[in-house]
Structure 1
Amino acid sequence: MKPQVKKFPVLKSLLATLATGSLLSFAISPTVQAEMTDSPKMVVDEMWQIVNSEFVDRNFNQINWQKKREELLNKNYNNKTQAYRAINQALKDLGDPYTRFLPPEQFEVLNSQTSGETSGVGVRIAIDSRTQDLYIIDAIKKSPAAEAGLQRGDRIVRIDGKPTALMDLDQASEALKGEVGTEVKLEIAREKQSAFQVTIVRSEIEVPSVDFSLKKEGGLNVGYIKLDEFSSLAAQQMKDAIDQLQKQQASAFVLDLRGNPGGLLFASVDIARMWMSEGEIVDVVDRRGGHRRFQADNSAITDLPLVVLVDGNSASASEILAGALKENKRATLVGTNTFGKGTVQSVHSLSDGSGLAVTISRYYPPSGMNINKKGISPDIVQGISREEEYLLTQNPSLLATKADPQYSKAVTILRTKNPISSPNNSNSVSILQ
């Protein structure tokens, strides 16, 4: 079994784009309007209006959506739980798993994800499924945890006096998070040392989406970049990574999108432009059939050989980037078939602090192929055994080493491309505006 891993913030969304929308007004009787004021019914109707104006399927999965509104507003909701239940059932009838309701706590997590910032102590944690120990797998640079001296491999025994042995991963995550300026007390067990306590003051943390390093592979200098998700900060972090690796004389690149669930559409377009000088990136089609095509704009930072690693958890914005690089023959894709999510969502805040994600369009790679529920096939199929996957999950430091067969295959491919020895920095630009 694989250990569970929790990041701060939790990065689980498969959204390809996020936006804030405004509510439209539809006529309702004064009596119903009065009933809705400060009532859970207001949130139900907000949901209905957003779906009515934005949902990609104008036939609403053969549901009479106007009649659905009458049904929803004729019900009485004594509390938010009843209203949320009605919302979830109405959305389920649409038959789209990505159009979904987000209770306030989930909506807050999603906002942290897309902003790339959160408040907390700045650690990534995991639970060893065999021992149930809660341990740190990474302390984010310049975070309160890192400044307090916490490091990879430390076991968190207690959080504010409560034993972590009685917590699951979500409970431990919630216990570590909190408002900026508040304190959390941790009891830490470290190998070959006595247990010790540390008090950490929570702060605002910029969560890195990008991790990178230069790998010496014989005579080849491989710039390895791991992109975890497409937050609003991801493009700038990607640019910084490419620039730094070129200064270190990288002669080729491996871009690792394995396990990347997606994020912001515009972040994927910006990042594609860092690697591509020309060509179409993605075609986004709205519910009226309107096309919005995104192109490369001659602002590529590098033209060095590139291999992209993908797997069944590379989804949404990851597939936009991987599809563009593959079909424009800018990169070789290695790994296994991607997830297959070819839709775009917008996210709206509702009046009670909850949120609503609505599928508003579909996207297609340059070829026009429908990848939804199909995914993108790699150029070179390279699987990974359960044992290898478990080992890499348990010890992420083994990623991009000889213990990682997909990375090893990427290096083999790059060796056949006769990469140049000195990078070209002439096209370096800032993508985020």
Structure 2
Amino acid sequence: MDNRRLWGVVLVLWAGLSFASPAQDLLNEVSRLLNDYYGGFSQVRPQELRQKYQGELDKVCAGEVACPTNKVFPLIQSLIAEIGDRHTRYFTPEDYAEVQRRLAGTSSNRPQLGVQLQLVPGLEGLLVVEVSAETPAEEAGLRRGDRILAVNGEALPQAESERNNFLRDRLGAGEPVNLTIQRAQQRFEVQVRPRIISLRQLPSLALRSDGVAVLRIPSFSGYQQVGPRIHELVRQAQAAGAKAMVIDLRNNGGGVLSECLVGAGAFVEETYRRLQDNMRSSEQGYKEGYYYFRSGGRERPQYEVRAVRWTAPVVVLVNERTASCAEYFTFDLQEGRQAQVIGQPTAGVGNTATIFLRLSDGSGLQVTTSRAQRRDGSFYPDRVTPTLSFSDDWQALAEGRDVMLEKAVELLMGVNVGVDEE
């Protein structure tokens, strides 16, 4: 074959490869990464679904050479849903960027109040269920259980599906607004100026007059930030003379494994996880003030905390949105000190670990890479089963009562046990 014929073959092959559309490229990339990285419990293997969804993509694109990536988004979502692993998910470019900002604790992409809101059917306005620290909402004095009824005198829409967008639109300019707030039986106005805020959510401590400390942990995201802060807040509770503690993990979606292991170490002697993927295992844990990571017989960099140990009574609050690392934390307290857990069965991803992978178009995958084992090799259950079944009562919260917290305090009252510091 002479050089001219050879170059002709090469050019034909190159041209053929270039005909793959952006949508096809993305499906290929997702399929390859799932095949390479997935190591969860699902019996459905990602490669088994590849042919099915290739046929679906052929129909959607119908020979369109430049078929755009947005046409394959729903197909990728469906493919991943068939795997049946709640810890494996696909994010569009916009959603993946938001996830990464939250994991890194960076700033929001638009002015915000710094609250989490709950739509309660039949209840006017939007219910505040979380107020983040160092945000406009906290500075304005907003609290969990408040309801936002109006902005600059304009009531939130009657249509429930329109309320969040209504509020977001009016906060987006970052100008001062007057919010009409309902707090139990009291109605008042407060002025607040939305701004770009940090998405980092660190634990906070509230000390009640009855001697019960309430430790709120909204997230475990933030390497070397959350775990040490939990130890510091426990130390503050001890110094204040608290006799018992409620740990509130409701709506905590997880975070960095080191932080839940270190954080739980403020309540139990030691924490440990062996993560087993398709090829190898690694070990992570906390003991005597140290976080450690071992893989392939080698110990990787670790960090030290000013350790403390809470030995007084403790109750943990969870709900169906308590997930991943927050489930790990709860398991450690259940198994390490038989702590009582109040709430609902958790999300069901408490026995796996994941990684985040950015795709070529800016979208992303969260992929289950390994299964979590105890030291004896047994696998953890997928979800936490509470000691006492209890549901959040949003109507009661809007009236000023957190009934799940009340139940926890009721269980703790009257018990006197000492506390130690290491």
Tell me the TM-score normalized by structure 1: 0.72
What's the CA shift string for 1:328-350, capped at 9, x where partnerless? 33x52332564232222211122
Aligned CA distance change for structure 1 residues 189 and 377 (closer, same or farther; 3 Å): closer
- 1:304 paired residue among 299, 311, 327: 311
- 1:171 paired residue among 165, 170, 189: 165
Match of 1:34 in 2: 18
Q: Following TM superposition, by how much is the alpha carbon of 1:277 offset from its aligned partner in structure 2, in angstroms?
A: 3.4
Alpha-carbon distance in 2 for matches of 1:184, 1:354: 32
AA at the equivalent of 1:324 = D
Aligned CA distance change for structure 1 residues 334 and 377 (closer, same or farther; 3 Å): same
User: Secondary structure at the residue paired with 1:274?
Assistant: coil
Asked if the contact 2:105–2:200 (Cα under 8 Å) also holds between the matched residues in 1, the reply is yes
Higher relative contact order (CA 8 A, sep 6+): 1
What's the CA shift string for 1:62-109, capped at 9, x where partnerless? 564596399379834633332112322332343323322111232233
- 2:417 paired residue among 419, 422, 425: 419
Match of 1:323 in 2: 331
Alpha-carbon distance in 2 for matches of 1:424, 1:239: 12
Alpha-carbon distance in 1 for matches of 2:403, 2:42: 46
Q: Following TM superposition, by how much is the alpha carbon of 1:121 offset from its aligned partner in structure 2, in angstroms?
A: 2.7
Q: Following TM superposition, by how much is the alpha carbon of 1:419 offset from its aligned partner in structure 2, in angstroms?
A: 1.6
Asked if the contact 2:230–2:263 (Cα under 8 Å) also holds between the matched residues in 1, the reply is yes
- 2:91 paired residue among 102, 106, 128: 102
Asked if the contact 1:324–1:366 (Cα under 8 Å) also holds between the matched residues in 2, the reply is no
Q: Following TM superposition, by how much is the alpha carbon of 1:266 offset from its aligned partner in structure 2, in angstroms?
A: 2.1
Match of 1:14 in 2: none
Q: Following TM superposition, by how much is the alpha carbon of 1:199 offset from its aligned partner in structure 2, in angstroms?
A: 6.7
Asked if the contact 1:347–1:357 (Cα under 8 Å) also holds between the matched residues in 2, the reply is yes
Aligned CA distance change for structure 1 residues 303 and 126 (closer, same or farther; 3 Å): closer
Structure 1: state its 5+ residue gaps: 1-28, 428-433
Structure 2: state its 5+ residue gaps: 1-12, 290-306
AA at the equivalent of 2:169 = A
- 2:388 paired residue among 374, 378, 382: 382
Structure whose CA Rg is larger: 2
Match of 1:142 in 2: 134
Alpha-carbon distance in 2 for matches of 1:161, 1:177: 13
Match of 1:24 in 2: none
* 1:264 counterpart = 2:268: no
What's the CA shift string for 1:203-250, capped at 9, x where partnerless? 222543423222343xxx333212222221432432332232223123
Alpha-carbon distance in 1 for matches of 2:381, 2:272: 17
Which of 151-160 and 85-94 deviates more? 151-160
- 1:52 paired residue among 28, 35, 41: 35
Match of 2:276 in 1: 285
Match of 1:215 in 2: 208
What's the CA shift string for 1:25-50, capped at 9, x where partnerless? xxxx634542347x233322221221
User: Secondary structure at the residue paired with 1:203?
Assistant: coil
Match of 2:302 in 1: none
Alpha-carbon distance in 1 for matches of 2:357, 2:234: 34
* 1:343 counterpart = 2:352: yes
- 1:186 paired residue among 177, 200, 206: 177
State how many pairs are aligned.
374
Asked if the contact 1:134–1:165 (Cα under 8 Å) also holds between the matched residues in 2, the reply is no
Q: Following TM superposition, by how much is the alpha carbon of 1:176 offset from its aligned partner in structure 2, in angstroms?
A: 6.5
Q: Following TM superposition, by how much is the alpha carbon of 1:356 offset from its aligned partner in structure 2, in angstroms?
A: 0.9
> Share of identical aligned residues, percent?
18
Match of 1:228 in 2: 218
Asked if the contact 2:118–2:126 (Cα under 8 Å) also holds between the matched residues in 1, the reply is yes
Tell me the TM-score normalized by structure 2: 0.73
Match of 1:124 in 2: 116
Q: Following TM superposition, by how much is the alpha carbon of 1:147 offset from its aligned partner in structure 2, in angstroms?
A: 4.3
Asked if the contact 1:210–1:225 (Cα under 8 Å) also holds between the matched residues in 2, the reply is yes
Aligned CA distance change for structure 1 residues 269 and 231 (closer, same or farther; 3 Å): same
Q: Following TM superposition, by how much is the alpha carbon of 1:54 offset from its aligned partner in structure 2, in angstroms?
A: 0.2
User: Secondary structure at the residue paired with 2:51?
Assistant: helix
